[in-house]
Amino acid sequence: MLINFGGIEPISFIEYPKLSSTVLFLRGCNFNCKYCYNKEITTGHDCRSILDIIHVLDNMMEYVSALVISGGEPTLQPKVIKELAVYYKEKGKKIGLYTNGSNPNVIKQLLNNNLIDFVSLDIKTIWINYKSDFGGDWQCIKKTLDILNEYKKENNDFIFRLVHPVYDENIKEAVEIMIKLLGFEIEFKQLI
């Protein structure tokens, strides 16, 4: 199997809550965020064999407790996530996923197979602005949110975190209200 590879951060102490992790970035994204913080890996191809990537990851995973898969948008490569998650969960590692929430069915399948321990979901904006400002379908994001919420109710140890990258103070306030009305908390990430 091939990975459209974006990069590796060998050791991080902030990407997985309270655990050290290695972060794998998968290339390619289906959104068009004007402030994109990983622009260089949202397009193009750098296809590598998954075995070569596992070989590189294995050297780092000895020293950390979790693998975090980020992007780009990692759910565009669901088989890659699944294969890595199966492999590293067997080795006792936790698996984290950073997503824009655009592929609820992929998230659902991963959760149903108990392959993900932590999800960080970006809430980019208020629902009405999703299409025009980010090129995304808000209904998919809402569906992902509902799936995560349902899963959390039955899986106490599962962690999910909502994050809003702040690009406009007015939107920040509106997002906070929207998410509170849905019964969730949200964290804010200041864009540099």
Which positions touch ligand SF4 (CB under 6 A)? 29, 31-33, 36-38, 42, 71-73, 100
Give min distance, CB of 156 to ligand SF4, in A: 29
Q: How far is CA 55 from CA 52, 71, 76, 102, 121, in A?
A: 5, 20, 22, 30, 28
Decide whether 61 or 70 has the Cβ nearer to ligand SF4.
Answer: 70
Closest approach of ligand SF4 to the CB of residue 37, in Å: 6
**Which one, 31 or 88, has the nearer CB to ligand SF4?**
31
User: Cβ closer to ligand SF4: 14 or 51?
Assistant: 14
Contacts of 112 (CB under 8 A, 6+ apart): none
Query: Shortest approach of ligand SF4 to residue 141 CB, angstroms?
Result: 11
Query: Cβ 34 to ligand SF4, closest distance in Å?
Result: 9
* CB-nearer residue toward ligand SF4: 74 or 116: 74
Strands (E), the chain: 2-16, 19-26, 47-49, 66-71, 94-99, 118-122, 159-166, 187-190
What residue type is assigned to position 155 of the chain? Answer: N
The tokens describing 180, both together, are 């509170």
Name the region of 81 (left: φ>0; alpha: ψ -120 to 50; beta: rest).
Answer: alpha
Of 74 and 93, CB closest to ligand SF4: 74
Nearest distance from residue 19's CB to ligand SF4, in Å? Answer: 22
Contact 166, 190 (CB under 8 A): yes
